[in-house]
Amino acid sequence: MLYNMEEKRQIVEKTMQKKISMLGADIHNVTMQEALSAIDGFIKEDGLHQVITLNAEILYQAQTNERLLALINKADLVTPDGSGIVWGADYLGMPLKERVSGIDLLWEICRLAPEKGWRIYLLGAAPGIADKAAENLKNKYPGISIVGVRNGYFNINNEEEVRDILKDVQLAAADVIFIAMGAPRQEYFIEDYGADFGVKVAIGVGGSFDVVAGAVKRAPVFMQKMGIEWLWRLLCQPSRWKRMMNLPRFVRLVKKTKKKQRL
């Protein structure tokens, strides 16, 4: 079935109204295709649109971080990133359509970028990583327009450094900026300075540049499908164990919430 632009807009708006609320956070119940349609709509509109790919670790942090929770709830699109979010929603009787992770969203946006004419900016990660990620994306998606690359090793409290980055992003005239600075630092950076980016869509993607650059291997597909990608990351980076402790805490909190619902 073919739709005109107005019909497409109405379909996207209807899709975006479908949310679930888990542990105080609103999450859009979207498929990858629906998320991409929403982003396509954002790019056609004026102003900045913030996209958050929400995982269990971030949602658990938000339970004691009012700023982070408020930021999640005012984002234009919040996708269910991580098996923990999908499991939690299902356990609480609000099943989600599918997982829409940050790394997968990045790949899909970049796949569509040459066809759509979207201009991409990469900001973040260690020196050299974003450059290698850009190189790999250009090789994988011929015709992609990556208009700017900057590493994330700058002093966020240094006004001169921040102004220099903002100026570079503005001059690049990108449509989409991916920011790989780790959560919630990247989300705060978008909230504080996004209005000065001059882009239509800003997405925090954590360690995704390392994967795209080939510096870090993503979990095998079978582990992704089993929902244990977190275990692969822990095996590859044992130093993450303290952060990973939030996952069992998240599970306990979801189960406690379920118990309250039954009372």
Q: How far is CA 59 from CA 89, 94, 143, 189, 246, in A?
A: 12, 16, 37, 18, 10
Name which residue leads in pLDDT, 25 or 218.
25
Report which residue type is found at 141. Answer: Y
Phi-psi region of 89 (alpha: psi -120 to 50; beta: other; left: phi over 0): alpha
- Convert the pLDDT of each residue in 15-58 to its tens digit: 667 899 999 999 999 999 999 999 999 999 999 999 999 999 99
pLDDT > 90: percent of the chain: 77
**pLDDT, mean of residues 176-199:** 97
* pLDDT at residue 3 tops 60: no
Q: How far is C-alpha 185 from the chain's CA centre?
A: 13
Q: How far is CA 263 from the centre of its chain?
A: 35
- Beta-carbon contacts of residue 71 (< 8 Å; ≥ 6 apart): 52, 184, 187, 188, 191
Give residue 258's identity as a one-letter amino acid code. Answer: K
- What's the burial of 260, exposed, middle or buried (CB within 10 Å: 0-12/13-18/19+)? exposed
Return the pLDDT at 246.
74
pTM for the whole thing? 0.88
The predicted structure's pLDDT at residue 248: 86
pLDDT at 241 over 50: no
How far from 188 is each of 50, 83, 170, 192, 237, CA to CA, in Å? Answer: 11, 24, 19, 6, 25
**SS3 of residue 72 by DSSP:** helix
Query: Residue 39 and residue 113: Cα distance in Å, rounded?
Result: 12
Does residue 82 carry a pLDDT above 90? no
At 228 the pLDDT is: 60
| pLDDT score recorded for residue 18 | 85
In the predicted structure, residue 76 carries a pLDDT above the cut 60: yes
Query: Where is pLDDT greater, at 226 or 168?
Result: 168
- Tell me the three state secondary structure of residue 105: helix
Whether residue 74 is predicted with pLDDT greater than 90 in this model: the reply is yes
82 Cα distance to chain centroid? 11
Q: Report the distance separating Cα 255 and Cα 92, nearest Å.
A: 8
Query: What pLDDT digit, counting tens, does each position of 61-71 carry?
Result: 999 999 999 99
Query: For position 1, what pLDDT does the model report?
Result: 46
Give how far Cα 227 sits from Cα of 68, 195, 220, 248, Å.
25, 36, 11, 14
Mean pLDDT over all residues of the chain? 90
Instruction: Give tens-digit pLDDT for 162-179.
Output: 999 999 999 999 999 999
